[in-house]
Amino acid sequence: MHWRPFRRAICERLRAAKLFQTPLALLEESVTNLFSTRENALVATPARDVTIATQPSQERFALPQTSPTKFDVIVVGSGASGGWASKRLAEAGLKVALLEAGRPQSDANFTEHQPAFELKYRNMATELVRKTRPVQSVFDVCNEYTAHWFANDLEEPYSTPKDQPYLWMGRVRMTGGRTNVWGRVSLRFSELDFKSASHDGFGEDWPLGYKDIEPYYDLVEKYVGVCGSKEGLEHLPDGQFQPPMPLTCQETLFRDRLKEKMGRVAMSARSANLTGPLPGRGPCHYCGPCERGCMTHSYFNSAFTTVADALRTGNCTLISNAMAYKVLMDAEKNRATGILYIDRNTKQPHEVHARIVILCAQTQESTRILFNSAARQYPNGLANSSGLLGHYFTAHVRSAGGSGDFPVFDAKPNLGAPTKPVGIYIARFRNLPGQPAAKNFLRGYGFEGEGGIDFNWGAPGFGEAYKKALREPRARIGITGFGEVLPRWENFLEIDPSVKDVWGIPSLKIHIKDSENETAMIKDIGESAGEMLEVVGAKNIRTYAHPSAPRWAVHEAGTARMGTDAKKSVLNQFQQSHDVKNLFVMDASGFPSNPCQNPTITIMALCVRSCDYLMDSLKKNEI
């Protein structure tokens, strides 16, 4: 088949839409790479990790044959951290059992190119989705296309106090977990974030610093494929980026005026979307709905990256539909011996055993497993001698922001135009070193946003007058603040003894509410959004600032915090339990604080670092 005419047509559409300012020749080259990479992806590519430098601890080794168990390591959860743990350990020669609560994922499940009119209900029967997923469907990526990927809320209930509603969204039951539907914004934490308590006196510093994790950020970003621009900000470190996605004309205007008039930095969002090919993966082709999957594997999803790599080694066994219940223990030796899980389909219990247990199930789920693993030695939850397990639960506030109209620059809206998967990111500008502190709140926030051309969907009238008015272009930018929630004892998780899921596993009760700090921050987010929009020249500006409840950002962390003192923390800096040396928790549970940047790239970098420590410890017979 001859691609040249088709390729040329695509490039002309991109230019005609005025979404990109890239020369036509470069656009053609990018599209050529897309097709050639996609064709190559049909062939097995065993060397995906060519972009990763082998660490000394990753050299293949054989464990002493002293264990009768089939596996060396159990990993619970196949998302951002679980995928990396499985890959890192299996590629080093360890035998890994990967437990996943959901079904296997494959390209056959992806619908990013399927129009709504092909669906049974044309993606308009929201009430049908709400019948079984009243919480999950509040998250707009849970819809007729993807609802079957998410937990059935009726089967997997949880509870909250009546005055503290909380929407536990993003509970995906497919291999890859939340990486199937995540927003993909990938931002590093800085030294300020790791040592925030030393800066402002609240909470605890992390037991590691930026230099400790920096090489792991590098490693993970090269493999994941993060697009972005280098901005030279100490409080938002640059990374190993692919070229950034171009800004729309409106976003460019916003960025330039914001820098000129306020000295603040807006940039193309740093995102786990490819702008150049990686082995077996093609660059983004701007179809739009990443949350419905990606047949060219252009965004990072652990199902077709880290998990696929782990399985390819022959050292990793994926156990699907495994609802992890508790960690099994040898009480005399104080060692974890395995996991008890319930088969999602048969509802029958099963045990799997290994020398090491790693929980990567997601903050609430891993904490739930530890609570349900309570025994005589640990009556308040496994590895909880400190009494801190479940406490200091955090998320991000996301309930304030604003929007405004911008010039259209003679562009015309088009339903078939390319759709960028990323917008802009405005870096934190409050409570930075060398600046006056905010008067009524600690820490800071950043903004995510986007802008471009659309139809005038609010056009008045009927008939020809309506059609004409509808086609009048409208350009608007909206920005939403994402702010840090202070880690506080009174925000916590516990087991609700009166609530169980359909597999008989006791469920969580979630306690979280805004403090005075978050309330003041939310107010400031709304005010600063309006201020920035006005300064850059937006018209018809609208701002909002609401309490967080019931919807915080799906960025939960902090219920099994890391630290150097076992009396004040649950894990050490390598996410290893202080109490049970062969038990690790490698998701965001261990975060001592939850900076305003999106946490996923840090979750992955910490996981790889901890896996290297684990393997070194095994070689030294320290675990």
> Is the dihedral angle over the CA atoms 291, 297, 301, 307 positive or is it negative?
positive
Give 22-51 pLDDT, tens digit per residue.
444 444 443 343 333 332 332 233 333 323
Give 445-468 pLDDT, tens digit per residue.
999 999 999 999 999 999 999 999
pLDDT at 338 over 70: yes
pLDDT band with cut points at 50, 70 and 90 for residue 416: confident
pLDDT at 58 over 70: no
H/E segment holding residue 297: none
Cα 454 to Cα 240: distance, rounded to the nearest angstrom:
33
- Give me the percent of the chain exceeding a pLDDT of 90: 88
pLDDT at 550 over 90: yes
128's CB contacts (< 8 A; 6+ apart) are 121, 144
| Predicted structure pTM score | 0.90
What distance lies between CA 502 and its chain's CA centroid? 27
Cα 480 to Cα 496: distance, rounded to the nearest angstrom:
34
Cα 15 to Cα 8: distance, rounded to the nearest angstrom:
11
pLDDT band with cut points at 50, 70 and 90 for residue 421: very high
Phi, then psi, of 429 in degrees rounded to 5: -135, 5
601's CB contacts (< 8 A; 6+ apart) are 186, 187, 188, 217, 220, 221, 224, 226, 272
CB 518 within 8 A of CB 594: no
148's CB contacts (< 8 A; 6+ apart) are none
Helices 210-224 and 600-619, axial angle in degrees (round to 10): 110
Cα 449 to Cα 481: distance, rounded to the nearest angstrom:
9
CB 360 within 8 A of CB 460: no
Residues 173, 175, 180: CA angle, nearest 5 degrees: 80
Q: Given the DSSP bridges, would you call strands 71-76 and 96-99 parallel, antiparallel or unpaired?
A: parallel
- Which one, of 376, 447, 213, 182, lies nearest residue 290 by Cα? 182
pLDDT of residue 60: 54
pLDDT of residue 69: 61
Q: How many CB atoms lie within 10 A of CB 41?
A: 19
Both structure tokens of 244: 């950034």
Give 556-610 pLDDT, tens digit per residue.
999 999 999 999 999 999 999 999 999 999 999 999 999 999 999 999 999 999 9
pLDDT band with cut points at 50, 70 and 90 for residue 62: low
Give 93-151 pLDDT, tens digit per residue.
999 999 999 999 999 999 999 999 999 999 998 999 999 999 999 999 999 999 999 99
pLDDT of residue 620: 95
Both structure tokens of 57: 């601890």
Cα 222 to Cα 611: distance, rounded to the nearest angstrom:
18
CB 175 within 8 A of CB 205: no
Cα 467 to Cα 456: distance, rounded to the nearest angstrom:
10
Phi, then psi, of 133 in degrees rounded to 5: -135, 60
Give 226-277 pLDDT, tens digit per residue.
999 999 999 999 999 999 999 999 999 999 999 999 999 999 999 999 999 9
CB 121 within 8 A of CB 145: no
Q: Which amino acid belongs to residue 468?
A: K
DSSP string, 191-250: HHHHTHHHHHS-S---SS-HHHHHHHHHHHHHHHTEE-----BTTB---SEEPPPPPPHH
Q: Mean pLDDT, the chain, as a whole number?
A: 91
Q: How many CB atoms lie within 10 A of CB 61?
A: 12
pLDDT at 53 over 70: no
Beta bridge partners of 350: 341
pLDDT at 310 over 50: yes
